[in-house]
Structure 1
Amino acid sequence: MNGAVAFLLATVLNLPVFAASSTATQAPKLDNATCLSCHDGKKGAIEVPAADDEKRELLTVTAEKLAGGVHAKMECVACHTDIRDSADKANAHGKADAPKLARVDCAGCHEKLLAAAQADGTLKDKPRLEVIVKNAHAYQKSFHARPNQNFPDQPNATCDGCHDTHSFNVPADKKSPAYDQWRLQIGTTCGSTCHSEQLDTYAASVHGQAAMEKHDIKAAVCTDCHTTHAITSSSDDPFILAVTDRCGSCHEKSLTTYRATYHGQINALGYTNTAKCYSCHGSHKIAKADDPKSTVHPTNLLKTCQTCHSGKKDLALAPAGFATYQPHGHAGDFNKYPQIWVAWQIMLQLLVGTFAFFWLHTLLWFYREFKERKAHAGEQQIRLDSVPAQYKGKHVQRFSPMWRLGHITFALSLMVLTATGIPLFYPTSPWASPLMTLLGGPHTAGLIHRTSAVIFAGVFFLHLFAVAAYLVKNWNTFKFFGPNSLVPNLQDGKDMIAMFKWFFGKGPRPKFDRWTYWEKFDYWAPFWGVTIIGVSGLIMWLPNFFGAFLPGWVFNVAAIFHAEEAFLAVVFLFTVHFFNNHFRPDKFPVEVVMFTGTFSIEEFKHDHAVEYERLVASGELEKYLVDAPSPTKLALSKLLGFVLIACGLTLLTLVGIGFFTQIG
């Protein structure tokens, strides 16, 4: 009896506890409707206590606004995770004594969703999720995510600042009208929240007018230049280097022509010290070129050039000729750029004609020599018993020390010129930027290039002086069209015809005198090359001097002549010249006569039979006979030859990669 009474009493006493527990578990949930009861704006502006005894107005989020966004099916507290109130205490987080609300972690939420989708295999049903997380990661590394200078505890911009996460609904289909409308609002979004001054300037520009007034969906908006999430400071190198490509995504032809200029070449190599698109055209206030307010209007061009070429630091004040330079000139429009078109046609015909003839000559020569050597396999190609016994073991002096010194200086300086010049010709090639870095950057490479040019030209003019002195001394006896002269003559034409007959098996191998027709070509080619490359290079080396009295298109023409003639010289030397002297079967793998100055009398008779017979007949042969070079000298000469050939072929390979990268 006493036990039953005690149990009943305990039950009665605990009823309030059970009632309270039941009430707690059934407390109204803090759902979206509860949140909207304050935040939907229907009650007017609601002010609640904030920090420092001030008041703040509740953010208004209408039900319609929330329903139109991609987060419409989510609960408010799914993002505002630190709000734990129940519906009957929904205002607790707004009271002055409430803890400060944590910043909503958009990136963290989407990362968790991605991880969950990857774990349960549903990622394929959520194709946008990976894109969103990628964008979030880009934002976290961007300028917007950096601490604000005035409010270090806040970033420069948040996701909500651009997207308004309560109504966020960026159309995924970039071809849809909805996306077009969203895109046209980007300028307003950026300008109305943060960049008001830039918006005012942009709105008056050719881009802004097209987007905001004409509603042209192709018009450039903020994100086309600055990107969306990976935004960097416009003064940082990554932005400076990338902005030209972003301009080029619309202005493709202009980007191509810009890349052909020195400014564009240096930019493509990864250096920021040359003019970019905005340096000339401006950034937010770009106007049409025929607008008098445009920085590239003819009346403003010189002033625009002088913003960089100001006479300060390393850049002299831009002369008048700079204003008529054509930074976007190209050879495809004779009516607009006649001088450039003519210059390109001249060089194109020269390139095609030279390579067509000499590469055909090379292939036929290789075929004929290879075929003859195969037919006479096992036999000596140069018979040692073809000369009298008293001459055996002797060599013939062919080149004097001065000739050899001039040749090696020419060769080395030309290779240095090539190595320091080709990164500019092919700046987008995979090897160009590393090579320029190895050279110490454009400034150092330029110094090396010009020093080598002076050496190359110096040897050339010293040779001219030596030739002139020889002619003055021997004017009465020297025969300009004689066998010892390098001046082309009628016999050279006959020899060439005979050579082609031999190529096709229609005649014997011709016999040559002291100089063959291809050797004479090798000799005279630098006269053309040094003139074209030298003069054009000098113009580009001293633009301020020449720009003071020459029109700007001269620089365009000089760039074409310099680049194409250099290409011709390099490819010709390292293909045709190397074949004629080193790679044809009779000479392979290396010919050292230009390093030792001599070759065997048997080789002399084989290569220059007419001269050999003439010297024997006149009794002058012994005047040219010398002892064979020592084994050490011969070995070192071969080593030098192999090194130069290896360097030449390496440069040729780089040029080939660059050429096909460029046209691809």
Structure 2
Amino acid sequence: MKQLILCILTALCLAGPALAEKKDTCVSCHRGLDGEMAAPVQGMPQDVHAQYGLSCADCHGGDPTQEDMEASMDPRRGYRGAPTAEQIPTFCGTCHADAATIRKFKPGLRVDQLELYWTSVHGKQHQKGDRKVAQCVSCHGVHGILPGSDPRSPVYPTNVPKTCARCHSDAGLMAGYRIPTDQFDQYKTSVHGRILLEKGVRGAPACNDCHGNHGAAPPGVSSVSNVCGQCHPVNSELLKQSPHQKPFEEMGVAACESCHGNHGVQRPTDDMLGAGEGSACTSCHERGSKGHQAAEAMRAAIDGLKARRDAAEALILRAEQAGMEVSQAKFDLNEVGNALTKARASVHAFSLARLGETVKEGEALAEGTTRKGEQAIAELQFRRKGLGVSLVIILGVAVALFFKIREVDRRRGLR
């Protein structure tokens, strides 16, 4: 028993210095306060910095081992206190712009955020003395900062639009900047917004995918196509080779945005092509002009291929519902669908000849698929005819047997 007590006392003596090192009067003091003064302690347990072992003093300085408040918050002990709005970027950058510091905790984390921030619209306005613009804590929060991979984080992909909207949808805050405040409302109804916000597909573009994050800036007219091209490279390259590229550049018009819009981009349909209602072509090309005629011809080519695809699909569906084996035909039908998608994309080259080549390839595939569907239907008809003939023969044999049996029975009766 004495040996056990001795071991416990020895362990406590050895643990004493370690326990003393963990002493943090910042936490113990603020935990007993109310309101805003208690908030830092409440948020820190889940804070990403705390998870890496950083404490209050690592950011705010001071000596958390001192019981006396004045001693623990003595500038001579390195106390810096809470940074002002002006100081926040460089305050956070003390660590986040220092590769040696970041390497100790998360080597893969970029250390150019502060440098990028100074190139952004926010950073430039901040340097001019504007304290209303976004800086680090505006997006990431203060105490209780979560990693961007945490779904609760304001910078998690599905939360980014709402985070940006906190400022950009505030008419009062945006007053004086001459910036619209309906971007988020438009985005929510866009094809991008629905995929990200409603379906939760994190790969869908949010604000920062087009504008950047730490280096956020509105894309210039000449760069819009390049921004869109990050996700739509084929369409972007076709557009650069098209006859529209030079006029758009000369007029200072953003190419993609001219037809599709920006924040409220909707899922494109065939109605955008041609001369009908909802056509994007008619906004520039007058009726009867070469551009107008080309648009009508391209729409007709797309509609023709679509009609062939639909006809082949109906034929194959009919055969399948009748029980015919059409797996290869269905595979070929998918290829026709791919050809139609390719044809729609090739519209961005704005070349009737180029579109014609793509449509021709699709029509050849559709013809082959239709032929297989027709063969399946023909085989079905053959089987039905064969079944009909077989039934007639069987019925004939049955009738003959019936009369034969009656004749045999009659003869037996005569005996």
Q: How high is the TM-score relative to the length of structure 1?
A: 0.33
- Pairwise CA distance, 1:86: 6.6
Task: Classify 1:62/1:203 alpha carbon distance in 2 versus 1 (closer, same or farther; 3 Å).
Answer: farther
- Specify the SS of the correspondent of 1:79: helix
Per the alignment, in what secondary structure is the counterpart of residue 319 of structure 1? coil
Matched, 1:211 2:196: yes
Alpha-carbon distance in structure 1 between the residues aligned to 2:191 and 2:355:
33
| 1:250 and 2:231 are equivalent in the alignment | yes
Q: Which amino acid aligns with 1:285?
A: G
Contact 2:242 2:349 in 1 (8 A): no
- Say which of 67, 82, 104 aligns to 2:45: 67
Question: Which residue of structure 2 lines up, in the alignment, with residue 32 of structure 1?
Answer: 27
Unaligned runs of 5+ in 1: 1-27, 47-57, 118-122, 310-317, 338-551, 562-664
Shift of 1:260: 2.1
Aligned to 1:127: 107
Q: Secondary structure at the match of 1:167?
A: coil
Q: Is the 8 A contact 1:206 1:288 kept in 2?
A: yes
2:261 equivalent to 1:287 = no
Tell me which amino acid in the other structure corresponds to 1:60: A
Q: Which protein has greater RCO, CA pairs closer than 8 Å, 6+ apart?
A: 1
Contact 2:282 2:292 in 1 (8 A): yes
What pairs up with 1:354-373 in 2 under 5 angstroms? none
In structure 1, C-alpha distance between the alignment counterparts of 2:133 and 2:207, rounded to whole Å:
17
Q: CA 1:61–1:152 in 2, change beyond 3 Å: closer, same or farther?
A: same
8 Å contact 2:225–2:236 — kept in the other structure?
yes
Query: 2:14 maps to what in 1?
Result: none
**Which residue number in structure 2 is paired with residue 77 of structure 1?**
57
SS in 1 for 2:157: helix
Tell me the residue number matched to 1:220. 205
C-alpha distance in 2 between matches for 1:227 and 1:182: 14
One-letter amino acid of the counterpart of residue 221, structure 1: A
Identity of aligned residues (%): 23
- CA deviations on 1:213-244 (whole Å, 9 max, x unpaired) are 2222232211111122221234xx3xx33332
Match of 2:163 in 1: 189
Q: What residue in structure 1 maps to residue 185 of structure 2?
A: 200
1:106 equivalent in structure 2: 92
SS of 1:299's equivalent in the other structure is coil
Post-superposition offset of 1:115: 3.9
Unaligned runs of 5+ in 2: 1-22, 74-79, 171-181, 307-346, 357-415
Between Structure 1 and Structure 2, which shows a larger proportion of helix residues?
2
2:46 and 2:146 in contact (8 A); partners too: yes
Q: 1:135 to 1:297 in 2, by over 3 A?
A: farther
CA contact (8 A) 2:154 2:163 kept: no
CA distance in 2 between partners of 1:296 and 1:166 (Å): 55
Please show how residues 3-402 of structure 1 align to structure 2 within 5 Å: 30-38=25-33, 43=34, 45=35, 60-61=39-40, 63=42, 65-72=43-50, 73-81=53-61, 88-89=68-69, 101-102=83-84, 103-104=87-88, 105-112=91-98, 114-115=99-100, 123=103, 126-129=106-109, 131=110, 133-147=111-125, 152-154=129-131, 156-171=133-148, 182-195=156-169, 197-234=182-219, 237=220, 240-264=221-245, 273-290=252-269, 298-301=276-279, 306=283, 309=284, 318-320=285-287, 321=289, 322=291, 325=294, 336=305
Give, in angstroms, the shift of residue 33 of structure 1: 3.7
Residue identity opposite 1:182 in structure 2: Y
Larger radius of gyration, structure 1 or 2? 1
Cα deviations by residue, 1:310-368 (Å, 9 ceiling, x for unpaired): xxxxxxxx4135456559x79x989559xxxxxxxxxxxxxxxxxxxxxxxxxxxxxxx
Q: Partners in 1 of 2:62 and 2:282 — Cα distance?
A: 57
The 3 A distance-change label for structure 1 pair 125 and 278 is same
Distance 2:348 2:228 in 1: 24
Equivalent position SS for 2:97 = helix
Offset at residue 209 of structure 1 (A):
1.7
**In the superposition, relative to structure 1, how do residues 156 and 334 fare at CA in structure 2: closer, same or farther (>3 Å)?**
same
Report the counterpart of residue 472 of structure 1 in structure 2.
none
* Structure 1 match to 2:401: none
TM-superposed deviation, 1:187:
1.1
The answer to whether the Cα contact below 8 Å between 2:275 and 2:295 also exists between their aligned partners in 1 is: no
Alpha-carbon RMSD = 4.9
Give yes or no for contact 2:183–2:263 (8 Å, CA) kept in 1: yes
The separation in 2 between residues aligned to 1:295 and 1:32, in whole angstroms, is 64
C-alpha distance in 1 between matches for 2:131 and 2:68: 32
How much has 1:157 moved relative to structure 2? Answer: 1.0
Aligned counterparts of 1:36 and 1:229: Cα–Cα separation in 2: 33
Cα distance change of structure 1 residues 335 and 60 upon mapping to structure 2, 3 Å threshold: farther
Q: Distance in 1 between matches of 2:274 and 2:294?
A: 12
Residue 211 of structure 1 aligns to a residue in which SS?
helix
Letter in 1 for 2:257: Y
Map 1:570-609 → 2, pairs under 5 A:
none
1:75 corresponds to which letter in structure 2?
Answer: S
Aligned length: 267
Runs ≥4 in structure 1, deviation > 6 angstroms? 82-86, 176-181, 294-297, 552-555, 558-561
In the superposition, relative to structure 1, how do residues 556 and 154 fare at CA in structure 2: closer, same or farther (>3 Å)? Answer: same
- Alignment partner, residue 403 of structure 2: none
Shift of 1:193: 4.0
Shift of 1:87: 5.8
Provide the residue aligned with 1:408 in structure 2. Answer: none
